[in-house]
């Protein structure tokens, strides 16, 4: 199914536009490529340095050097292979039906992120590998992988918080101290290049501060900024963009509620406790983030890291008919293509 969806999506995009042109212009790819160039040259250019975390650009620069391929090709290769690995990890952690529903049936945005590139595949590859290590009580490896995921997307810190909470509840204070040292070591190794190249070890954090400094605090009360920003931009949204954030907000709220129901506490909650804690902390932060101007309209993308856990809590509602899932997978691939090259170019008509 991964192969089918990839082929359908890329073929549909290439019928309309050059794939590499689409990839180069897609979302934050330009900023990641700029950071990869800075890392390779070991100095900042005269342009403004993007505030994105450097884990993904480090991987791009490394793969580009290792295989002697352009940075853009390395970016796409990491995203595609990372997506495939995440598919395997989700299958190991939550089963095949959740893996199928997550990748190809529920969230079509994951498809073009996997094909055209983005930091999410690498982030989730490290994150879910950390969860798998935690399942086998390999806490040191889990902490290392979760720490590395934080260098790609800072929200990976909630996985470390989840691991620490589990160890505190078990009173495993020695293991807690060890994973804390691992996380600190990775953090120090990460900020050293920023300090050398940019002159500040906190360059990423000061850059991200621009997103919320006009709002005051980093976080506000739950749903405060999220709902107000959604309502502010409601008039400018077209179908189907205006109902999607509401649908995903309901899905996220339902998933969180189902995870903490009493009937689940003695079952899967005990087994996947770190994942549940991560999903809870992450979702609470997401709905309380004070700079929700862009999050309000991109909830399907920002909920991707917690979607497998949500679906596992709602697994009884996932259709078990393979015909439905295969049809949904092809439809998702086409919707992902439409998001890149236009709905009419893919389906032959415009949305109202």
- What does 35-84 look like in DSSP terms, one character per residue? HHHHHHHTS--SSPPP-S-SHHHHHHHHHHHHHT--HHHHHHHHHHHHHH
CB 274 within 8 A of CB 146: no
Q: Are residues 22 and 72 in the same domain?
A: yes
DSSP one-letter code for 241: T
Residues 308 and 346 in one domain: no
- Residues 38 and 151 placed together within one structural domain of the fold: no
| Tokens 């042109």, located at residue | 21
pLDDT of residue 213: 57
Write down the pLDDT at residue 105.
66
Please say if the pLDDT value at position 296 is more than 90.
Answer: no
pLDDT of residue 273: 86
Domain C-terminal end among 201, 224, 245: 201
* 249 and 351 inside one domain: no
Mean pLDDT over residues 198-222, rounded? 77
Which of 75-79, 237-241, 242-246, 259-263 has maximum average pLDDT?
Answer: 75-79
Q: From residue 180, give the alpha-carbon distance in Å to each of 150, 161, 230, 339.
A: 14, 10, 38, 41
Do residue 168 and residue 255 come from a single domain? no
Residue 299 inside a domain? The answer is yes
Whether 206 is in a domain gets the answer no
Residue 126 domain-assigned?
no
**The pLDDT of residue 33 is above 90:** yes
Per-residue pLDDT tens for 77-101? 999 999 999 999 999 999 888 888 8
More confident residue, 216 or 84: 84
Q: Are residues 245 and 333 in the same domain?
A: no
Residue 152 and residue 109 share a domain: no
Whether the model pTM is above 0.85: yes
Q: Among residues 154, 170, 201, which one ends one of the domains?
A: 201
Tell me, yes or no, whether 44 lies in a domain: yes
Last residue of a domain, one of 146, 180, 201: 201
Q: In the chain, how many domains are there?
A: 3
| Residue with more model confidence, 112 or 209 | 112
Q: What is the pLDDT of residues 297-351, one digit of tens each?
A: 778 889 999 999 888 888 888 878 888 888 888 999 999 999 899 989 999 988 7
Does 253 fall in a domain?
Answer: yes
Whether 277 and 259 share a structural domain: yes
The answer on pLDDT for 237 being more than 70 is no
CB atoms near residue 110 (< 10 Å) = 26
Mean pLDDT of 136-151: 97
Q: Are residues 106 and 142 in the same domain?
A: no
On whether both 94 and 109 belong to a single domain, the answer is yes
Same domain for 235 and 177: no
The residue range of the domain holding 314 is 212-318
Among the ranges given (14-18, 171-175, 347-351), the one the predictor scored with the smallest mean pLDDT: 347-351
Q: Which of 129, 114, 118, 108 is nearest to 83 (CA)?
A: 114
């Amino acid at each position: 199914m991964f192969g089918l969806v990839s082929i359908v999506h890329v073929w549909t995009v290439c019928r309309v536009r050059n794939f590499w042109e689409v990839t180069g212009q897609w979302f934050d790819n330009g900023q990641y490529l700029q950071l990869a160039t800075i890392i390779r040259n070991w100095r900042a250019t005269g342009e403004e340095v993007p505030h994105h975390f450097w884990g993904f650009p480090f991987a791009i620069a490394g793969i580009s050097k290792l295989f002697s391929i352009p940075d853009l090709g390395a970016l796409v290769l990491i995203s595609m292979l990372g997506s495939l690995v995440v598919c395997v990890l989700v299958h190991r952690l939550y089963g095949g039906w959740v893996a199928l529903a997550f990748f190809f049936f529920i969230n079509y945005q994951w498809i073009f992120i996997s094909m055209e590139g983005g930091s999410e595949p690498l982030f989730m590859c490290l994150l879910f590998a950390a969860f798998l290590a935690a399942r086998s009580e390999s806490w040191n490896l889990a902490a290392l992988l979760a720490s590395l995921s934080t260098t790609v997307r800072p929200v990976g810190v909630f996985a470390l918080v989840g691991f620490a909470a589990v160890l505190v509840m078990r009173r495993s204070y020695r293991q807690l101290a060890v994973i804390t040292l691992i996380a600190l070591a990775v953090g120090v190794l990460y900020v050293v290049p920023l300090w050398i190249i940019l002159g500040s070890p906190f360059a990423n954090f000061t850059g991200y501060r621009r997103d919320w400094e006009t709002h005051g605090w980093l976080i506000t009360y739950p749903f405060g900024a999220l709902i107000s920003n959604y309502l502010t931009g409601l008039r400018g949204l077209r179908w189907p963009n205006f109902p999607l954030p509401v649908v995903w907000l309901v899905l996220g709220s339902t998933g969180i509620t189902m995870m903490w129901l009493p009937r689940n506490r003695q079952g899967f909650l005990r087994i996947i406790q770190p994942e549940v804690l991560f999903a809870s902390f992450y979702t609470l932060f997401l709905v309380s983030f004070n700079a929700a101007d862009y999050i309000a309209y991109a909830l399907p993308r920002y909920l991707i890291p917690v979607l497998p856990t949500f679906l596992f809590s709602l697994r009884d509602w996932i259709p078990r008919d393979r015909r439905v899932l295969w049809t949904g997978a092809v439809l998702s691939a086409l919707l992902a293509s439409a998001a890149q090259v236009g709905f009419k170019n893919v389906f032959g008509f415009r949305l109202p």
